Amino acid sequence: MNRRDALARVALLMGGAVIGADYFLTGCSPASSDKDKAQTKDGNSASNFKALDTKQQAYLDEVGDTILPATKTPGAKAARVGSFMAVMVRDSYKPADQEIFTKGLSQLEEASQKLNGKGFMESTPAQRTALLTALDTEQKNYAKTKTPEQPNHYFRMIKELTLLGYFTSEVGATQALRYLPVPGKYVGDYPYKKGDRAWATT
Amino acid sequence: MEKYTYDAIVIGSGISGGMAAKELTEKGLKTIMLERGRNIEHIKDYVNANKAPWEYEHRGGKTQQMLADYPVLGRDYTLNETNLDYWVNEKDSPYVEVKPFDWFRGYHVGGRSLMWGRQSYRLSDYDFEANAKDGIAVDWPIRYKDLAPWYSHAEKFAGISGNRDGLPQLPDGDYMPPMEMNIVEKDVAARIKKHYKDRHMVIGRTANITKPHNNRVNCQYRNKCWLGCPFGAYFSTQSATLPAAVATGNLTLRPFSIVTRILYDKDTKRAKGVEILDAETNKTYEYYAKVIFLNASALNSAWVLMNSATDVWPGGLGSSSGELGHNVMDHHFRAGAHGEMPGYEDKYVYGRRANGIYVPRFRNLFGDKRDYIRGFGYQGSAGREGWSREIPEMSIGGEFKDALSEPGNWTMGLTGFGETLPYHDNRISLDKTKKDKWGLPVLAMDVSIRDNEQKMRVDMMQDAKEMLEIAGLQNVKTYNNGYNPGGGIHEMGTARMGRDPKTSVLNQYNQVWDAPNVYVTDGAAMTSAACQNPSLTYMALTARAVDHAVSELKKQNV
């Protein structure tokens, strides 16, 4: 990203500021450490964070694949979004958000039991979709009144990292989108018809 | 103590230092270019230049560790995973913020010429005459006609692509073919032209070549310039000035050389050389030369002067005027507007243009009069939204994914870059209580923008909104994301040029009044900031000063 892109773009993902260490320029003032303290019980929970294990990553692959399933192009699981989420939560999230994310996996499982009477992994594709659609509605409603000081919603985090992980992956950038390593020219009036894929950016 | 003698010494290897080295060596002077940081070799050391987005562990984003290691850089887009090695290590090289000040530095061969934004504009006489007309600060000692041939000289060598737009406030130069506006930008430009007499939207003039030039390949529209370009398509020390200087056989490049002071000879009233600290070994060396070009970047050039000849002037070489380190300027920005352009669903672009549009200054010109002085220009671009957009009516699933895989609406944004006035009390000074990794005193920044700039920022938002709406954009929203001095990465003014040694540090040829064989030709020399991106002006000032230095050497005047 260069400065012009950064300035021209309102750096939002799904209509809101990116959670964690901002991926794009947000243009907002950097989050203060006070904010972290407000969200964290002991202010030192970094040491309590346990990186997501392979089982959790496999679980997140399935969740991601429900958010972005295979269509005419591969889904999020093919882009291995589970392991990407593990890296981002470990490295880019603040301690308070790490805690929300980790807890969120249990909350998602509980919600699955409640709605479908079984765990997410045991659910049918239709049950999974019903569950995550409900959770997305929940996070969208929460976002409507959420102030910056209030904790983030775990499903918003999962969805956001799924999108980020998918569309910047090789699978996402070259199959769902079109990636041109060396365009060689610029055409400012290029034809587009519905269904043409978007360009993957740098 | 080891001693070495050259004809010329250049301190710093960025945009202006590289240009000084090229010009000096081409005129036959044996020259040593001293760079405080490591070497970065053209192409070979651009380690990420050919990486795909998915090859970065965090896909180019930030981590908490990076934010902890680079607290200043982390204030803006500058902190990212793709070119982290090009930014200064903040723990090794701290500074003091008396008031908030963003200082984004590159300590390596090439300096910020590797990461710069490449927008290249001439100043006009509206700028050179501004201080005199407004009765503020001091008058520039030069006018446009003095610099015009040197602008041409710099443009022809650097390779600036641009259109000759015939605007008096933005003089045309010697350009390569311009890049293209996209379809929406073209229509917006036409509507602005139709509605306003004195407002224009033009294609950006950028130091990206659009046809082959001096063994450099033309721009390939990857828009990855700041990783270092394997095609050499944008102007940098590495792609342009360094190879030219090396080709003469007259250049010695010495990385890891922190110049600690200029050695001043009281008897001859000239500088005789410099003292350096080897950044790796901590050993001290002295280099001698007839002429010295100081191009360490605006703030660090002032730092070198402040540390020099302190036995004669306690405030350092050039401090007799009382202006050294004062009049710090930058361009204030991060205010403007953006909106959505309806229609154009059957239009898209091909390629990633490393350039945008430019709206030259229109305020306080041609009879316009505001409640502030000077003005601002806009940079921006139009494009279709990508996968990160919100689709409110959709939730999750295949349809959602396929929708995000297609481009969204056209949007366009404008960001103002405003002129900052030269205030005497906007200053930097040495803080001797705080030391860097090498035990050297650090700079303390005491700089703020004032009423004139704050009033201008209101126009930067409102004018952008009005122009976008007139051009047919909808849901236009203004923004002011705040600004810390330094954030424009256009630091200027700390050793200004002038007509009087009592009120300026440099004369009309960029010579230090108190040591005429020392030339300062980076941003420090600027008497006013104008609102145009300044690097091309440094190139032109540098080439002009070298021409003067060499002719004075021949006459044995320096």
Q: What is the pLDDT of residues B314-362, one digit of tens each?
A: 999 999 999 999 999 999 999 999 999 999 999 999 999 999 999 999 9
Instruction: Indicate the helix (H) or strand (E) that contains B345.
Output: none
Buried b (16+ CB within 10 A) or exposed e, B125-140: ebbbebbeeeebbbbb
DSSP per-residue codes, B248-296: TT-EEEE-SEEEEEEEEETTTTEEEEEEEEETTT--EEEEE-SEEEE-S
Rounded mean pLDDT, B90-103: 98
> At residue B181, does pLDDT exceed 90?
yes
Rounded mean pLDDT, B480-502: 97
Q: Taking chain B, what is the end-to-end CA distance rounded to the nearest angstrom?
A: 26
- Distance of alpha carbon B357 from the chain centroid: 18
Buried b (16+ CB within 10 A) or exposed e, A52-64: beeebbebbbbbb
Inter-chain CB pairs, A–B, below 8 Å: 229
Q: Taking CB atoms and an 8 Å cutoff, what residues of chain B touch A16?
A: 390
**A190 and B381 in contact by Cβ < 8 A?**
no
- The amino acid present at A189, given as its one-letter code, is D
- Neighbour count for residue B334 (Cβ, 10 Å): 21
> Most distant CA pair in chain B: distance in Å?
81
- The secondary structure of chain A in percent helix, strand, coil, rounded to multiples of 5, reads 50, 5, 40
Reported residue count of chain B is: 558
A120: contact with B, CB 8 A cutoff = no
In this structure, the strands spanning B441-446 and B96-97 are: parallel
Q: Which of B378, B377, B403, B381 is nearest to B390 (CA)?
A: B403
**B348 and A165 in contact by Cβ < 8 A?**
no
Pairwise CA distance, residues B19 & B539, whole Å: 6
Bridge-partner residues for B520, per DSSP? Answer: B294
CB B366 within 8 A of CB B421: no
According to the model, what pLDDT value does residue A19 have? 77
**pLDDT tens profile A17-69:** 777 766 543 322 333 333 333 333 334 445 578 999 999 999 999 999 999 99
**In which region does residue B316 sit, left (phi positive, over 0), alpha (psi from -120 to 50) or beta (all else)?**
left
Tokens of A93: 């999230």
Q: Which of A1, A7, A160 is the best substitution to test chain B (most B C-beta atoms within 10 A)?
A: A7
Rounded mean pLDDT, B451-475: 98
Tokens of B470: 């007139």
Bridge-partner residues for B329, per DSSP? Answer: B492
Strand, coil or helix: B427: strand
Distance from CA of A16 to the nearest CA of B (A): 8
**pLDDT tens profile B23-33:** 999 999 999 99
- Quickly tell me which residue has 């795909």 as its tokens: B52
Pairwise CA distance, residues B130 & B534, whole Å: 16
Q: Which of A62, A106, A99 is nearest to A81 (CA)?
A: A62
A155: contact with B, CB 8 A cutoff = no
**pLDDT tens profile A66-113:** 999 999 999 999 999 999 999 999 999 999 999 999 999 999 999 999
Instruction: Indicate the helix (H) or strand (E) that contains B186.
Output: helix B183-195
Least CA distance to B351: which residue of chain A? A186
Q: Which long-range contacts (CB under 8 A, 24 or more apart) does B148-156 make?
A: B148/B122, B150/B540, B150/B541, B150/B543, B150/B544, B150/B547, B151/B122, B151/B536, B151/B537, B151/B540, B153/B540, B153/B543, B154/B19, B154/B536, B154/B539, B154/B540, B154/B543, B155/B120, B155/B536
**pLDDT tens profile A155-200:** 999 999 999 999 999 999 999 999 999 999 999 999 999 999 999 9
> At residue B145, does pLDDT exceed 50?
yes
Pairwise CA distance, residues B151 & B541, whole Å: 8
Q: Which long-range contacts (CB under 8 A, 24 or more apart) does A51-57 make?
A: A51/A86, A51/A90, A52/A82, A52/A85, A52/A86, A52/A89, A52/A90, A52/A102, A56/A82, A56/A86, A56/A105, A57/A82, A57/A83, A57/A85, A57/A86
In this structure, the strands spanning B270-278 and B284-288 are: antiparallel
Q: Taking chain A, what is the end-to-end CA distance rounded to the nearest angstrom?
A: 7
**pLDDT tens profile B251-271:** 999 999 999 999 999 999 999
ipTM: 0.93
Pairwise CA distance, residues B59 & B53, whole Å: 6
**pLDDT tens profile B350-376:** 999 999 999 999 999 999 999 999 999
Q: Taking CB atoms and an 8 Å cutoff, what residues of chain B touch A9?
A: 413
Partner residue facing B54 (CB), from A133, A173, A192: A173
Pairwise CA distance, residues B526 & B494, whole Å: 8
CB B223 within 8 A of CB A1: no
> At residue A142, does pLDDT exceed 50?
yes
> At residue B83, does pLDDT exceed 80?
yes
Partner residue facing A183 (CB), from B181, B220, B381: B220
Pairwise CA distance, residues B87 & B114, whole Å: 10
